[in-house]
Structure 1
Amino acid sequence: MIPILFEDAEALVINKPGGLPVEQPRAGGPSLDAQFPSLRLGFQREPVAVHRLDTDTSGCLLLARNPKALTRFSRAFEERQVSKLYYGVLAGVPEQTEGTVALSLSKISSAEAGWRMIPAKKGKPAVTHWQLIEVQAGLALVAFRPETGRTHQIRVHAASGIGIPLLGDPVYGAGPKGPDGARIKRTMLHAAGLRIEREGKEPVIAHAILPADMRALGFAEPAGGFAEPDVADQAADSED
């Protein structure tokens, strides 16, 4: 059963496992949406994902429980009323302890390598604020607060902006091999916090603790958790 982090008549926020795609891949196999019937929880309709997380990314995923809620939540993303906090493990230690990456992003593709996002002056504006949390064995746990929400934003901004890719990233990093030669099963990125403002109602607030595979690298749950983020997300695209 998928852990539920927040529930009311409009919304569910679930803790998505890393490595599980939200939608079923073309080649088939397990997917999160196959479990949506079990998340009705007495409601007539299955919940619908409002935004996207990459297959490897774990953590907070917002589901709408009815069409009106889906419209309102989608609008909240568009109007910058959603804030997100991510934790990622960098495959190295940055020289600075905090900063802001502002690199516009554009999508490219080729028959040989498939598609990916690259920094490009004529791309869509993308801004990510980051802060170093902890260092363990040559790896760094970093908090990311995306100000925009472009596809693969955090992954590209880590690799091309900070200059160190996320551990395990097969596209923008060294892939599944860790610094000690151990196999890394996924890109180490976790959607730790989500806050959505709602007119006339209390905001949706959810926090997903640091997953076991990140803790196994020696990192502890950061103090304070997810409280009042000061940077709002801009779009409903996947930013990881």
Structure 2
Amino acid sequence: MQISNDDILYQDECMIAVNKPVDLPVHKNDFMPADAEYLTKQVGQLINQSVYPVHRLDSKTSGVIVLALSREVANNLAKQFEQRQVKKTYLIVSKGIPGEGVFDKEVLIKKKKKRQKAKTAYKTISSIDTGICYKQDENVSISLVKATPETGRWHQLRQHFAMNRTDILGDTQHGDWTLNKIMTELTGVKRLLLHATSLELVHPESGQKINLEAKMPEAFNIVLNQLSGLEYSLT
């Protein structure tokens, strides 16, 4: 995926926000080839300026991400994220009907090989009924859910929804592999249906609150529309 001007959500003299495409890493790591594409590289080339990441967004997650245009601004913004002053809202397509509430079970931190406390507020926006049946699941419901993590742990949303048996569709690490396969077979969509739809933070210079938004990807609508009422049985 290549970043273009259409992906820029906000830009001024000290920061830029873009709508990150799915499957594009934010920055380079030691496991990537020298010519690999990543977000900071593409945005820097697009605006012909050095950019500095201030928070993380998983490669498989799309949506709003903020980049600083100086080290000073990067430090300011990073502190807001570290001190949980930034409100992050995600859109999710999940299995079942999660309802509304707060997930507060500990999640596994892979690198540290231990569990840590985590909190995720969630609210079901809408649900569809399907005739999808497989294994022990019959007439699986699928929901569009809004989620707001109060902490920022590794794969927190994906782990919390999987623990609740309301797996995020397209999650190949924590989710329901059979349902993922059915989704791709029936709709052609093959991605994690997790999207960072908004960020609320304080502008590092003006001190004013700003809300950055990225609209829901078309893939979400395709899955919800095409699976609604669809009869499918895997035997």
Match of 1:210 among 210, 216, 224: 216
Question: Aligned pair 1:36/2:43, yes or no?
Answer: yes
Structure 1 SS opposite 2:223 = coil
SS in 2 for 1:158: helix
The letter for the 2-side match of 1:206 is: L
Using the size of structure 2 for normalisation, the TM-score is 0.78
Q: Which moved more, 1:201-210 or 1:173-182?
A: 173-182
What are the ranges of 5 or more consecutive residues in structure 2 without an aligned counterpart? 131-140, 226-235
What code does the residue aligned with 2:101 have? G
In the alignment, residue 192 of structure 1 is paired with which amino acid? T
**AA in 1 matched with 2:121:** H
> Structure 1 residue 19 and structure 2 residue 23: aligned?
yes
Partner of 1:230: none
What whole-Å deviation, never above 9, does each CA across 1:134-160 have from its counterpart, x for those lacking one?
113431110001111111000001101
Structure-1 residue corresponding to 2:156: 153
Whether contact under 8 Å (2:61, 2:194) holds in the other structure is yes
Count how many residue pairs are aligned between Structure 1 and Structure 2. Answer: 203
C-alpha RMSD of the superposition? 2.3
Structure showing greater relative contact order (alpha-carbon pairs closer than 8 Å, 6 or more residues apart): 1
Where does residue 107 of structure 2 map in the other structure? Answer: 105
Contact conserved, 2:183 with 2:223, CA < 8 A, in 1? no
- Go from structure 1 to structure 2 and tell me whether the alpha carbon gap of 1:69 and 1:139 turns closer, same or farther (over 3 Å shift): same
144, 148, 158: which one pairs with 2:147?
144
CA contact (8 A) 1:116 1:171 kept: no
Q: Is the 8 A contact 1:12 1:65 kept in 2?
A: yes
Q: Within 2, Cα distance between the matches of 1:64 and 1:98?
A: 35
Deviation at 1:67, TM superposition (A): 0.7
- Aligned twin of 1:55: 59
Task: Please say if 1:126 is aligned against 2:126.
Answer: no
How many angstroms does 1:184 deviate by?
4.0
Task: Please give the alpha-carbon distance, in whole angstroms, between the structure 2 residues aligned to 1:213 and 1:66.
Answer: 34
Identity %: 30
Deviation at 1:32, TM superposition (A): 1.8
1:34-91 Cα shifts (integer Å, max 9, x gaps): 30322435xxx4111211111110100010111110010011112221001000111x
Q: Which residue does the alignment assign to 2:75?
A: 71
Tell me whether 1:93 sits opposite 2:96 in the alignment: yes
* Distance change >3 Å, CA 180–CA 66, structure 1 → 2: closer
Shift of 1:4: 0.8
1:81 maps to 2:81: no
Length-normalised TM-score, structure 1: 0.76
CA distance in 2, matches of 1:173, 1:116: 21
Corresponding position of 2:207: 201
Contact 1:6 1:205 in 2 (8 A): no
Question: C-alpha separation between the residues in 2 aligned to 1:173 and 1:166?
Answer: 6
Deviation at 1:167, TM superposition (A): 0.2
Instruction: Tell me which residue corresponds to 1:236.
Output: none
**3-state secondary structure, aligned to 1:177:** helix
